[in-house]
Amino acid sequence: MNNNYLATLVDEFYQLGIRDVVVSPGSRSTSLAMLFEEYGKFSTYVDIDERSAGFFALGTAKASKKPVVLICTSGSAGAHYYPAVTEAWHSRVPLIILTADRPYDLQFVGAPQTMDQTRLFGDFVNHFENMIRPDEKLFWTYPRKVAQRAVLKGQSLPVQINVPLSEPLVPDLDPENFAKGRRSFSLSAGTMSTDWDFEQLPNKVLILAGATTESAQEDIIRFAEKLKAPVLADPLSKLRSFESPVLIDSYDAFLTDTALAEQLKPELIFQFGQIVVSKRVQQYIARLDCDYVQVDYESDYRNPSQTTTEIVQSHVKAFVSGCQLEREDSQYLSQWQAVQDKMRAKLDTVANEASPFEGRYVQLLQELMPAGSQLSSSNSMEIRDLDYFWKASQKQVDIYCNRGLSGIDGLTSTALGISANGKKTVMLTGDLSFFHDLTGLTVGKTEALNLTIILFNNDGGGIFHHLAQHDAKHFDRLFSTPHGLDFSGLAKLTGLDYHEIKDYEDFTEQFTEAITKKGIHLLEIKTDKEHSLNLHKKYTSYEQ
Q: What is the average pLDDT across 348-359?
A: 97
Helix (H, G, I), strand (E, B) or coil at 130: strand
Q: Is the pLDDT of residue 385 over 90?
A: yes
Helix (H, G, I), strand (E, B) or coil at 268: strand
- The domains located in the chain, with CATH, are 2-179 (3.40.50.970), 205-342 (3.40.50.1220), 353-540 (3.40.50.970)
Contact (CB, 8 A) for 54 and 124: no
Q: What is the average pLDDT across 267-281?
A: 96
pLDDT in tens, 513-542: 999 999 999 999 999 999 999 999 999 998
DSSP 8-state symbol, 379: T
Q: Is the pLDDT of residue 189 over 70?
A: no
Q: Is the pLDDT of residue 195 over 90?
A: no
Let me know how long the chain is: 544
Beta strands 291-295 and 520-526, pairing class: unpaired
**pLDDT-above-70 percentage for the chain:** 99
The pLDDT assigned to 223 comes to 97
Distance CA 511, CA 495 (A): 18
The pLDDT assigned to 414 comes to 98
pLDDT in tens, 119-139: 999 999 999 999 999 999 999
Q: How confident is residue 105, by pLDDT bands cut at 50, 70 and 90?
A: confident
The pLDDT assigned to 225 comes to 97
The pLDDT assigned to 462 comes to 72
Which position has the higher pLDDT, 460 or 453?
A: 453
Report the phi/psi class of residue 426: left, alpha or beta, with left for phi > 0 and alpha for psi in -120 to 50: beta
Closest residue by Cα to residue 405 from 4, 13, 88, 72 = 88
Q: Is the pLDDT of residue 193 over 80?
A: no
Contact (CB, 8 A) for 282 and 304: yes
Q: What is the average pLDDT across 447-465?
A: 90
Q: Is the pLDDT of residue 478 over 80?
A: no
Q: What is the average pLDDT across 502-509?
A: 98
Which position has the higher pLDDT, 185 or 359?
A: 359
Q: What is the average pLDDT across 495-511?
A: 98
Distance CA 95, CA 125 (A): 9
Q: Alpha-carbon torsion 430, 433, 438, 441, what sign?
A: negative
Distance CA 391, CA 221 (A): 16
Q: How confident is residue 422, by pLDDT bands cut at 50, 70 and 90?
A: very high
pTM of the prediction?
0.95
Q: What is the average pLDDT across 83-96?
A: 97
Q: Is the pLDDT of residue 190 over 70?
A: no
The pLDDT assigned to 1 comes to 52
Q: What is the average pLDDT across 346-352?
A: 97
**What mean pLDDT value characterizes the chain?**
94
DSSP 8-state symbol, 478: I
Q: How confident is residue 186, by pLDDT bands cut at 50, 70 and 90?
A: confident
What strand order describes the sheet that includes 68-72?
43-46, 20-23, 68-72, 95-101, 159-164, 128-130
The pLDDT assigned to 291 comes to 96
Q: Is the pLDDT of residue 188 over 80?
A: no
| 529 Cβ neighbours under 8 A, 6+ residues apart | 458, 459, 460, 462, 465, 480
The pLDDT assigned to 480 comes to 76
CA angle 194, 199, 200 (to 5 degrees): 105
Which position has the higher pLDDT, 193 or 470?
A: 470
pLDDT in tens, 293-346: 999 988 789 999 999 999 999 999 999 999 999 998 899 999 999 999 999 999
Q: How confident is residue 467, by pLDDT bands cut at 50, 70 and 90?
A: confident
Distance CA 32, CA 225 (A): 51
Contact (CB, 8 A) for 280 and 251: yes
**CA distances (Å), 151 to each of 5, 24, 402, 483, in order?**
18, 21, 23, 44
Which position has the higher pLDDT, 190 or 253?
A: 253
